[in-house]
Amino acid sequence: MNIQDVRAIVTGGASGMGRAFVLALARDGGDVVAADVNDEGLASLLTEAEGLPGTVRVRRADVSNEAQVVALIDGARADMGGLNVLVNNAGIFRDGLLVKVDRETGKVKGSMSLANWQKVIDIDLTGPFLCTREFARSHIDNGGTDAAVVNISSIARHGNAGQSNYSAAKAGLVADTKLWGTELARYGIRTGAIAPGFIQTPILDGMRPEVLQGMLKGVPMRRTGTTAEIYSGVKFIIECGYFTGRCIDIDGGLVL
């Protein structure tokens, strides 16, 4: 698939990597609908995208809400006169240890709440499930022939301390990428996942320099990645017609 032929939805498109994907796709000539719950971010995205070769549109949608996902998929198809790419990028963190033990008493003094577990699963795993299900339904019902789903996973899928919820969601997303690649190939839908490491986004920008440098000691390349480097993986999955069901690690060689 040529990028100029792309009619894409990018979830979590108002900020961070999602915003970078939206602008890069439009810069390369694709048409994009950015979906997010961040109204201010969506508004500023429209301003930033003015004058690009491709067209950027925005829609407010919570990916964990089934009705809103159905409306997003059908509305985006109508807006762009077609739909052939889905980038499942929306995600959140609610970090915490499974149990937290008091050093003095040796007793448990806290734990990851069920609410924080469920919220991350809802957005980071159920969201891509709903979006991909409805994307596949729309593609098949409209007689589509060539489409791609790109799932943004994480190096945390291997298991990262303090991220039981996030690690589970991102591991599940890679498993679903493989499964969906098998199930959907017959309908002309390819799937791929990207597992970024430490990427320079507003989340990392807010870290204290000494904390970030400590994190980077485990990265062989001794630096953060860029959103442009992650986009190169997104672009590869979209363009390579023989790629499906696999995950690409873009993490500077980091091993958790």
* Cα–Cα distance for residue pair 20/247, rounded to 1 Å: 20
Q: pLDDT tens digit string along 130-186?
A: 999 999 999 999 999 999 999 999 999 998 889 999 999 999 999 999 999 999 999
Predicted pLDDT of residue 123: 97
Q: pLDDT tens digit string along 33-90?
A: 999 999 999 999 999 999 999 999 999 999 999 999 999 999 999 999 999 999 999 9
Q: Are 167 and 156 in contact (CB under 8 A)?
A: yes
- Mean pLDDT of the 115-144 span: 97
- Mean pLDDT of the 217-240 span: 94
* Cα–Cα distance for residue pair 226/232, rounded to 1 Å: 10
pLDDT > 80? residue 203: no
**Is 242 one of the annotated active-site residues of the chain?**
no
CB neighbour list of residue 246: distance below 8 Å, 6 or more residues apart: 177, 178, 181, 192, 193
HSE-CB at 187 with a 13 A cutoff on CA atoms is 22
* Cα–Cα distance for residue pair 17/205, rounded to 1 Å: 13
Predicted pLDDT of residue 204: 76
pLDDT > 80? residue 127: yes
Reported confidence tier of residue 14, pLDDT bands at 50, 70, 90: very high
pLDDT > 90? residue 24: yes
Strand partners, 7: 31
Q: Are 168 and 222 in contact (CB under 8 A)?
A: no
Of 166, 187, 231, 242, which one is the catalytic site residue? 166
Predicted pLDDT of residue 112: 95
158, with CB counted inside 10 A (0-12, 13-18, 19+), is middle
User: In this prediction, what percent of the chain has a pLDDT beyond 90?
Assistant: 86
* Cα–Cα distance for residue pair 59/245, rounded to 1 Å: 28
Choice between 205 and 220, residue whose per-residue pLDDT is larger? 220
* Cα–Cα distance for residue pair 33/193, rounded to 1 Å: 20
What does the block give as tokens for 173?
């997303």
Q: Are 36 and 42 in contact (CB under 8 A)?
A: yes
Instruction: Name the CATH architecture for the domain at 3-250.
Output: 3-Layer(aba) Sandwich (3.40)
pLDDT > 90? residue 21: yes
Predicted pLDDT of residue 211: 77
Reported confidence tier of residue 255, pLDDT bands at 50, 70, 90: confident
Predicted pLDDT of residue 207: 73
